[in-house]
């Protein structure tokens, strides 16, 4: 009788695992999520469903709001301000616009690419992007997407970081104010559930990354070069 | 064959092993499919082949132990 009981318990556990699998399919069952990388643990289709419904799985939000420590490489190269994929590095009127697209699975805290003094924190824009048109993020004409632009004075000239929201994101937090002295790699803000970060840097600087490269905020050197003589 | 299904007041070890193995094999197949970007056709063939081999082993062990 004890053996039968044990067999029934084991069979019930296996059956429960299969039922869970069927209930969650095509998304991963909670039993196997821990072994999957974030991109497969929460597939894009599932996140878009949550966006429509306005509710998210707690584990996803915990991952999304994670803020791991980052170690800046030695030297004074300019660091990536955000985690993501470099989608564009266009030059426009003497400024290079390095566009970094964040995905749902990237860490969303932004970091200062350089040490310097914050000259201004401006809010602008009146629309939301839906991942489209990221390559046009450097255009300042209206309508531009909702964004905050941090202007930083550095030894290498003026550098700006633009935090741009998407239709999914809609909110930006900045943690520095005009007049603050900031360190290279310091946390400067967060885009909630979004989207795109643009680094504006002088064209005189040498770019160390190319379109399609993966970068990590506060860790990946994206540009270097001697300060311009003014 | 009767003690394959039922034996001395509990489920036969043969059918028990078969049921547990089939469930776990299915779940393991799902995990593998999500971790590796493998085509569904190839996965199904591999899963079926693996299942047949393991069921053969279970049946072989059962018949051998009689």
The domain limits of chain A are 2-64, 78-224
The catalytic residues of A are 195
Q: How far apart are the C-alpha atoms of A26 and A43, rounded to whole Å? A: 9
pLDDT, position A19: 96
Domain extents for chain B?
Answer: 2-64
pLDDT tens per residue across span A63-99: 888 899 999 999 889 999 999 999 888 888 888 889 9
Can you give the pTM of this predicted structure?
0.76
pLDDT at A121: 93
ipTM: 0.85
Q: What is the pLDDT of residues A97-141, one digit of tens each?
A: 899 988 889 988 999 999 999 999 988 776 655 555 555 555 544
Could you tell me which chain B residue has the CA closest to the CA of A37?
B35
Q: Are A4 and B27 inside 8 Å of each other by CB?
A: no
Residue A23, pLDDT > 70, answer yes
Task: Spell out which residues of chain B touch residue A29, defining contact as CB-CB under 8 Å.
Answer: 27, 30
Q: How far apart are CA A143 and CA A133, in angstroms?
A: 12
Query: Quick check: A100 and A199 in contact, CB under 8 A?
Result: yes
Class of domain A78-224: mainly beta
A60 alpha carbon, distance to own chain's centre? 15
């Amino acid at each position: 009788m004890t053996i039968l009981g044990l067999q029934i318990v084991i069979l019930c556990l296996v059956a429960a695992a299969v039922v869970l699998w069927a209930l969650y399919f095509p998304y991963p069952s909670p039993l196997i999520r821990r072994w999957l990388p974030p991109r497969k643990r929460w597939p894009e289709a599932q996140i878009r469903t949550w966006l429509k419904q306005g509710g998210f799985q707690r584990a996803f939000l915990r991952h999304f709001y994670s803020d791991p420590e980052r170690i800046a490489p030695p030297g004074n190269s300019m660091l990536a301000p955000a985690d993501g994929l470099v989608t564009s590095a266009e030059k426009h009127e003497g400024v290079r616009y390095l566009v970094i697209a964040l995905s749902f699975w990237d860490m969303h805290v932004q970091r200062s690419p350089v040490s310097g003094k914050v000259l201004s924190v401006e809010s602008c824009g009146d629309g939301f992007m839906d991942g489209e048109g990221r390559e046009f993020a450097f255009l300042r004409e209206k309508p531009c997407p909702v964004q905050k632009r941090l202007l930083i004075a550095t030894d290498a000239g003026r550098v700006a970081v633009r935090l741009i929201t998407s239709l999914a994101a809609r909110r930006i937090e900045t943690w520095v104010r005009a007049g603050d002295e900031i360190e290279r790699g310091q946390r400067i803000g967060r885009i909630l559930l979004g989207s795109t970060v643009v680094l504006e840097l002088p064209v005189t600087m040498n770019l160390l990354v190319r379109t399609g490269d993966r970068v990590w905020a506060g860790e990946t050197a994206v540009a270097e070069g001697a300060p311009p003589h003014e | 064959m009767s003690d394959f299904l039922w034996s001395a007041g509990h489920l036969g070890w043969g059918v028990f092993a078969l049921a547990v193995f089939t469930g776990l094999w299915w779940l393991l197949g799902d995990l593998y499919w999500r971790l590796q970007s493998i085509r569904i056709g190839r996965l199904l063939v591999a899963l079926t082949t693996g299942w047949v081999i393991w069921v053969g082993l279970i049946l072989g062990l059962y018949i051998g132990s009689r």
